[in-house]
Chain A
Amino acid sequence: MIRSYNAKMIYNLYIFDKTGKLLFYTEWNRFKQSGMSRNEEGKLMYGMLFSLKNFVTKISPYDMKQGFLCFKTNKYALHFMETPSGLKFVLNTDISAQKVREILQQLYNNVYVNYVTRNPIHNLQDSIKSELFKSKLNSFMKQTHIYLSK
């Protein structure tokens, strides 16, 4: 299988609520697992994000409104978005992806709000089990400019 690391790709998505619980995880292209269970990975990710946010605000030479946005490695970039209600969206993409913040914002507005918040059956403290949400999420991602199917 030829993997082109320079192609635009979305790797995976995490959604956390304000208490740090992993509400949703999905992956589109993940070539290496972290070696720990999903829950542990979620806790690690959440703890790291929490520390990063605090660190970034403390070290900042300016007064900042938004704070931590993303980090980049040589193979992937992690993009972070927090809503006023404390929901945290984490999206891993390849390094050449542009305007990922807009995508995360649209994901929240068009997919999460419509199919999770407006779903009366779903209890907002639980993890997301709605098939409708999953299928809308997948079709939303497929039409973004950074998605490339294998």
Chain B
Amino acid sequence: MASQDVLFEFLHHEIVAYCNSKSKKEKEDVSELEYIGFACGYRIIERLTKDWPRFKEELDMLKFLCTDFWSSIYQRQVDNLRTNHQGVYVLFDNEFRFLSRISEGNQYLEFAPQYVSYTCGLIRGALANLGITCIVTAEVHLMPACRFHIQVQKS
């Protein structure tokens, strides 16, 4: 059982390495990585919510994201969810799975963006299929804690 989640971890590492090698610019380009996450998130949310009734409101969708969605992918729940009730949500994960093996503190901080952009895409894709268009960005100040900012776009 434990070998199954390690498999995903290693695959994710290789996806990041592959995207880095493909990127032609000097600076590493995370938009491809984010799109891969988007496509995955879009489909995975369909699979995860197949037995659930329709969500009443945006906040319920975000709560589902923080509990069931996060625990089926990262084996833990989001530690904190904050919102200003005006379309901005912040997810706090104090031990983000892809960063917890890299460092504790500041070492290797410059590599952190590459390892969180897949997840940004994942969140964006999941919410897109639930009917919410948004922009997702991530902030890492001290590994392995990570914050995801979700800004809902009103059409």
Contact = CB atoms under 8 A, between A and B. Distances in A.
A119 B102 contact: yes
B102 A131 contact: no
A114 interface: yes
Given A114-B101, A115-B101, A121 B108 contact: yes
A110 interface: no
Interface in B19-63: none
Contacts of A131: 103-105, 107
Interface residues of B, number: 17
Contacts of B102: 119-121, 130, 132
Contacts, number: 35
A138 B25 CA distance: 40
Contacts of B10: 118
Contact of A135 (B9, B16, B104, B111): B104
A118 B9 CA distance: 8
A135 B143 CA distance: 14
Interface in B82-125: 98, 101-105, 107-108, 111, 115
B13 A120 contact: yes
Contacts of A118: 6, 9-10, 101
B107 A130 contact: yes
B149 to A, nearest CB: 24
B103 A132 contact: yes
B72 to A, nearest CB: 20
A86 to B, nearest CB: 19
Interface of A: 114-115, 118-121, 130-132, 135
22 contacts: A115-B101, A118-B6, A118-B9, A118-B10, A118-B101, A120-B13, A120-B17, A120-B98, A120-B102, A121-B102, A121-B108, A121-B111, A130-B102, A130-B107, A131-B103, A131-B104, A131-B105, A131-B107, A132-B101, A132-B102, A132-B103, A132-B107
